[in-house]
Chain A
Amino acid sequence: MSNASRKKLLLMGRSGSGKSSMRSIIFSNYSAFDTRRLGATIDVEHSHLRFLGNMSLNLWDCGGQDVFMDNYFTQQNSHIFKMCEVLIYVFDVESKEVLKDIEIFQKTLANLAKFSKNCKIFILLHKMDLVQLDKREELFTIMMKTLINQSLKYGFQIKGFPTSIWDESLYKAWSSIVCSLIPNMEHFEKNLLKFNDIIEAEEIILFEKTTFLVISHFSSAQEHNLLTGAGASDLDPKRFEKISNIIKTYKQSVSKLRTHFQSLVLHGSFSSIFIDVLTDNMYIMIVLPNKSLESAVRDKDEELLILDNIKRARKWFEKIEGGK
């Protein structure tokens, strides 16, 4: 188990494209402001991250200056590109030498095709906040078209995301990257579905504890729409990333009191929200609709019921995490 769950992630891209900033925000609790202090990465910076308990991510943050880059493709190529599971390649949208960027990307692909054929590839078009709102989509499609063509030559399927450290798009991208690495995903989903049968929530979301990336979610509105064939639900489609962002801010602010966040119960104007620890590595968030106006008494009972249900569910999810 231990060996199979070590995943090697390469984080590459040309210098100044924002690779280390991303890593610091997602895994080291930096705020977008703090990343200004980061300097250039020299050669390769390794970091070991434990994710969901038994999964350990080996993140290789590769410095992007041309000297280092040339080195990766020539002398160190077997060292860098061997046994690689995921490549995250970052493009700076503001870059002036787009052709050179793509050329280096091609070299990377060629090396990967040689050393690890089954590698998953993710493209992040970064610093999107510097592009005008109405131009973003167009730019993204053009860029992705070129890149998909390039990578097909080497037999790779790629997936792209527009990102920026100043909004929640970064969480969306990393959530899907990390989710692609979780082996027992279908178990989580199945159990989440079962759990929902019991508590009849509007939405349930599972988060990873340290990064607060979304692992899995279930929403009854979505289910309903599938049955009736209606369009997308009228809830905010970006809500998962926003929640990740909000809770991370909260975790940071709580650290001023030298402690950690444990649970939150919100009886809001539209719905009741429960966030609690589920296992050692996961948080759960449950959203219940507000049914009636005079629900103060019922609320109290319901709250206890939900909290108790979460406690019971813990056992099951701990089992899945154990890898059974």
Chain B
Amino acid sequence: MDSHTILTPKNNKANILLMGLRRGGKSSICKVVFHNMQPLDTLYLESTSKPTTEKFHSLIDLSVMELPGQLNYFEPSYDSAKIFSQVGALVYVIDSQDEYLNALTNLSMIIEYAYKINPLIHIEVLIHKIDGLSEDYRLDTQRDIMQRTGDELLDLGLEGVQVSFYLTSIFDHSIYEAFSRIIQKLVPELPSLENMLDNLVQYSRLEKVFLFDVNSKIYVATDSSPVDIQTYEVCAEFIDITIDLDSLYENGDQARPAIKDEVKCISTLQNGVTLYLRQMIRGLALVALVRVDNEGDVYGGDKIEDEENGNYYQSCRDKNLQQSLAIIDHNVNVFKQGLEKVWEHSRIRS
């Protein structure tokens, strides 16, 4: 079980605190990830003046609190001790296109303070706006920032603190990837979820499976095979396409009952890959990548004579696909029941 739930038993929300210097891009991140705002539109966001809290209900009830950058947290009037004791993760945003030495000093001060109050806090650093840097320069910047942060923490006598670093930009999927990793640390049921997904992959011949939050495109869990960013992007966009297509034929006709929670979408591609989407509980969707080979030996090699040779492989693949989809359907149903149980259990416990 994750530690921070013990620490704050009354507050079972996973709280994320978003901090950083002014104009680092904190509000833009919030708007893009949780409100589906277009990245270019964030140019027109005003400077945030008050701490804002937003709540999201997904597998876990998530709340993201954003602090304005120009604030001095160490004023006595400000109850920062209370805030830090209630959060599960502290996300610090550094603008990589700007001079970041100030930000690093600020960061180490905040880490020192937060760590004193809440030693179980996850500290995550987003090296943000990397879209403006060239490829070689990105890694240099990351190394430099990691080095300096390490030195600063060493000087403060905090060498045991774990700090994770992510290179992010709102113009590609890296910000979603980073947030997925951060949120996964806050889901107490993650190990069991991953186990369930691994089982699903193993018994259904899937290549990759994600459990997505439909609104934010953040994945709360995936199987243990490594995440390929391209696969992730295709799967995330597949959700968009499914939702968009589905909503087109939504009409005001009340006589026809809407079947909620049962959206299912299957799309085959030319190289034998199939994308599979099933809606799960609480705004989650399972998206899987299935690769079906066109071997005919499933049917004991009895070739269908009247098919032409070119069509033969196609029809074999079709049959294999139908068969494996039936298996996948069944297994996903079992997985869904399991997910419901896990969810119920976690509600009782908290």
Contact = CB atoms under 8 A, between A and B. Distances in A.
Interface string B235-274: 0011011101110111111001111101111111111010
Contacts of A293: 257, 259
Contacts of B262: 267, 269
A287 B249 contact: yes
Contacts of A268: 242, 245-246, 249, 263, 265
Chain B, interface residues (CB within 8 Å), range: 20 to 34
B147 interface: no
Q: Which of A254, A287, A295 has the most CB of B within 10 A?
A: A254
A264 B268 CA distance: 6
B270 A262 contact: yes
Nearest to B278: A267
Given A264-B267, A265-B266, A270 B246 contact: yes
Contacts of A271: 246, 249
Nearest to A267: B264
A5 interface: no
B237 A253 contact: yes
Interface stretch (A66-74, A98-106, A123-131, A236-244): A236-244
B245 A266 contact: yes
Nearest to A252: B237
A269 B258 contact: yes
Interface stretch (B18-26, B72-80, B189-197, B226-234): B226-234
Contacts of B270: 259-262
A250 B238 CA distance: 7
Contact of A264 (B240, B266, B271): B266
Contacts of B252: 234
Contacts of A139: none
Nearest to B277: A266
B244 A202 contact: no
A70 to B, nearest CB: 38
A239 B260 CA distance: 22
A278 interface: no
Interface in B60-110: none
Interface of A: 202-203, 233-236, 239, 242-243, 246-247, 249-250, 253-254, 256-271, 273, 287, 289-291, 293, 295
26 contacts: A234-B251, A235-B248, A239-B249, A243-B245, A249-B237, A250-B237, A250-B238, A254-B269, A257-B230, A257-B231, A258-B271, A259-B269, A259-B273, A262-B270, A263-B267, A265-B266, A266-B266, A269-B246, A269-B258, A269-B263, A270-B251, A270-B256, A270-B258, A290-B257, A290-B259, A291-B256
Listed from nearest, the 3 A-B pairs whose CB atoms lie closest are A268-B246, A259-B271, A264-B267
